[in-house]
Structure 1
Amino acid sequence: MRTQRLSRLVPAAALALAALLTSCAAPADGARPLTGDEAQRLALARFRMYRTGTATMDLRIAAPGGTTTVHAVVDHRAHRAVGWYGTEDTSGTDGAPGLLAWSREGLAVARPGTYGAPAAAPSTTSPAAPPPARDALRAAARVDSAAWTRRPYARTPLDTALQLALALSADRPDNAQLLAQSGPLHLRDDTIDGRPYAVLSGPRPRPAASTAPLTGRSPVTYWIAADGAVRRVTARLGDARTVTLDLTGEQVRGSLPKGPWDRK
């Protein structure tokens, strides 16, 4: 099935996430334009993520045929990440987790047998609990650079999700006024793990040289706390495909290994 086409963004850098996905949905009931405070929160979100540095992130890509998960460590400054990935269909988990790395240029998968099994999950209540994302950092450091199979991004939901994860940070705040003019909406308020969040749809890129009013809403949605911290980002890819990125706020010390990107 066809996925949404990736495209480049025009004027404001803050539209980088919306640029990954070109579809729009009808506005949700009760949706309204952002207040000045909400626009400022959204404008600071990617810069705040950049300042976080290296942190854990869980990616979930749901599709009619099954679900892919990635438990990752993302360097929001270098725009690189490593993580354990796995797939699950109606019959359950499909095999042991694989080791994945990605950057703005593309992704790399470690050859099976070149890294050890992930450490035991920190949960004893569920045998299907995911492996610790931090362990992927250690495993990737043990893999020789020649053991990574590299490829550029393709037009698949997984590849879109990986690029979206790296687009969540920027080394400077976005322009709140431009954001407010590009159609973001306050959709509702929500609570995750007992903490309140404003649920905001993202900005929408306006076609070049177009003065037509923006319609619908962005396929990208953010859960943003009052202090500007992003807790969750979701994206609709069409054809019953969705991406969910959960940012737990767990910072990780250490740097990502060079092996996945070293072609020597």
Structure 2
Amino acid sequence: MSLAHLDCRPFAAFCEGHHAAACAIPSAELPARMHELPKTSEPLALYGVGDDLHQAYAFLTSKGYHVAQQTEWTRQVEAMLQAEGLWQCGEHSQRLWQPAPLIARFVTEFMPLYALTPGEGLDIACGAGRDMVYLAMHGWAMTGIDYIPAALQRAQQLAATQQVCIRSACVDLETGTDPFIHYANGQFDLITVARYLHRPLFPWLQRLLKPGGILIYQTFMQGAEQFGSPRNPNFLLKPGELAQIFAGTDILLDTVETLDDGRPVSAFICRQVASFP
């Protein structure tokens, strides 16, 4: 069984020595750093001391995680890891989180296939920033937009843990005015949108893409309401809707994927082929 190793001790103690595959998130910081954890389907091996270990275990199990292994950190544990070649000291913390599968596929498959060179990217409704940070780790100069300041702060913190730089802006995309007034036509080589749908933005997305620029759009399709949220039809794509809206582009991918909970989502990637007025 493959385990994700999580060390919930204070960071100073982690730096003195830890499991080589461990991610460092002190127990008190777990509620604010949930976006750094793997999927709940991935079992965890948890390391800690005393109350920190118990508090982390209680919190993680309350959130649906399976803690398959709890280890009280002792000198004996350290010696065992050293003997097995699994002990490490220093600040390096392993990454347990993953971007959206479509973003990972874009980097590993579409970028080499279409010889795409990283440039300026925009993540709309970026949330805590996993997709944006992942793209920044692969060379993209990313800007994230969201209306929640705390989400943008988490995105900046996540970028810092991965030693990349991102830009962020707190913008309400649904005010009725131009939310991209400070951005020029044809400014971005890449625009990504995940789990967010506000149809009045579609013309702006076309305006912001450079000729040859890429749009990645993944959000909930009609039918998702049978499994949970969102249920509002304003937040659910119709079959073929994105292909119709972006008919003037070169469509590289247009399919429907299914999340683990059964909800259908779009997997749509297109490339701008001409400037829009």
Q: Output the TM-score relative to the length of structure 2.
A: 0.24
Q: Say which structure is richer in strand.
A: 1
Q: Say which structure is richer in helix.
A: 2
Greater RCO, CA 8 A, separation 6+: 1
Q: Output the TM-score relative to the length of structure 1.
A: 0.25
Larger Rg: 2
